[in-house]
Amino acid sequence: MYVSDKKDAPIARLVRLRWRVAIGLSLAMMAIYFGFMGLIAFQKPALAKIVAPGVSVALIAGPSIIVSAFLLCTAYVLWANKVYDPAVRDLKK
């Protein structure tokens, strides 16, 4: 019933859209994290800079990564609930 091999079939388009969103958000998370770990690995002085009394770049970056992980998850859930799920429901009809 649902099976269709055509590239332009609605389900194929929806699946491509979900992959694009999923990969885009994954790449964003990876860029943030590996950017940070890249500095830890090869450029520690960049993170060691003290920008204000008691505040280093590292201490800003660390918690920001934690917050960004949560925000990216939230973004995906919002997209999935608002766009993806209704599209799946439409296809099911």
Partner 1 sequence: MPSTQSGLSIAFFLAFVVLTLWITYVAARRTHGTNSFFTAEGRISAWQNGWALAGDFLSAAALLGIAGIITANGFDGLVYSIGWLVGWPIMLFLIVEPLRNVGKFTMADLVAYRLNQRWVRSAAAIGSLTVILFYLIAQMVATGALIKLLFGIPYSTAVLIVGAAMLVYVLFGGMIATTWVQVIKAIMLLAGGAVLAALVLSRFSFDPRALFEAAAQQFGERVLQPGEKVVPGGWEAISLALALMFGTAAMPHVLMRVYTVKDVRDARLSITYATGLIGIFHLFVLIIGFGCMVLVGPAVVAKAGGGGNMAAPLLALTLGGEAFFGFICAVAFATMLAVVAGLTLSGVATLCHDIWTNVVRSGHAPEKEKMAVARVSTVLIAVLAVALGSVFEGQNVAFMVGLAFSVACAANFPTLVLSISWRRLSTAGAVSSILVGTVVCLTMILLSPTIQVDVLGGNLADLQSRWWFIPMRNPAIVAMPLSFFTAIVVSLLTPERQAAEKFDALRDAIVFGPAKVSAVQAPAEVAGVAAAKPQAL
For binding to partner 1 (CB under 8 A), which residues are involved?
Answer: 1-5, 11, 14-15, 18-19, 21-23, 25-26, 29-30, 32-34, 36-38, 40-42, 44, 47-48, 50, 52-56, 58-59, 62-63, 65-67, 69-70, 72-74, 76-77, 80-81, 85, 88, 91-92
The Cα–Cα gap between 54 and 51 comes to 8
Residue 11 in contact with residue 1, Cβ under 8 Å?
no
The contacts of residue 87 (CB under 8 Å, 6+ apart) are: 14, 17
Least CB distance to partner 1 at residue 17 (A): 11
